[in-house]
């Protein structure tokens, strides 16, 4: 009787093991790696993008133009003929917001988020941003702001439009 039980056990084990072979991954949808989206404002293969805007006054009379040339290599911001009020600590800022009519008739930014580029140094200032710095901006840039950091006041803003 032991021989029959032993033989039967061997047959059961052999059949069970035959069904346990690895035949590779189970069929189903293919898994893909993460997709990498181009950063906001960074053109794909379509070519470079140019953004332009005219400054509008807010906390001080402000005039001039700004141009941002965006390529795969990064972005170059150029101020031209900028004139604005004085302040103890004027900074050049980027914003995902735009200048819109606010309550009481005054203009205000549609976003409170400001990304500092550095101090305002002149009427014809140029700021270069490499591709990594430009790509680090998580939202599209829709305006450039002259900001009095000491007074916590936007002196003027230029809404950007694509050429």
3-state SS, residue 18: helix
Which residues make beta-bridge pairs with 76? 69, 128
pLDDT at residue 10, rounded to an integer: 41
Phi, psi for 107 (deg, rounded to 5): -80, 145
| CB hemisphere CA count around 132 (13 angstroms) | 0
pLDDT at residue 153, rounded to an integer: 94
Does the global pTM surpass 0.85? no
The DSSP line for 25-36 is: SPSSPPP-PPP-
The C-alpha angle 64, 160, 158, rounded to 5 degrees, equals: 35
Cα 114 off chain centre by: 13
Phi, psi for 159 (deg, rounded to 5): -70, 140
Which residues make beta-bridge pairs with 52? 67, 161
Q: How confident is the model over 86-107, as pLDDT tens digits?
A: 988 999 999 999 999 988 888 8
Is 50 in contact with 144 (CB distance < 8 Å)? no
Q: How far apart are CA 61 and CA 146, in angstroms?
A: 11
Q: How confident is the model over 1-59, as pLDDT tens digits?
A: 444 444 443 443 344 434 444 444 444 444 333 333 444 444 444 579 999 999 999 99
Domain spans, the chain:
49-162
């Amino acid at each position: 009787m032991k021989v029959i039980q032993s033989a039967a056990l061997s047959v059961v084990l052999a059949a069970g093991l035959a069904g346990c072979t690895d035949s590779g991954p189970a069929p189903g949808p293919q898994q893909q790696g993460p997709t990498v989206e181009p950063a906001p404002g960074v053109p794909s293969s379509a070519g470079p993008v140019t953004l332009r805007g005219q400054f509008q006054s807010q906390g001080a009379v402000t005039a001039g133009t700004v141009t941002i040339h965006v390529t795969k290599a990064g972005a170059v911001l150029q101020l031209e003929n900028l004139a604005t009020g004085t302040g103890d600590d004027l900074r050049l800022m980027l914003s995902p917001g735009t200048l819109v009519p606010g309550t009481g008739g005054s203009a205000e930014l549609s976003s409170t988020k400001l990304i500092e580029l550095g101090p305002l140094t002149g009427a014809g200032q140029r700021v270069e941003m490499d591709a990594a710095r430009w790509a680090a901006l998580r939202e599209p840039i829709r305006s450039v702001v002259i900001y009095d950091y000491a007074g916590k006041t936007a002196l003027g803003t230029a809404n950007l439009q694509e050429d």
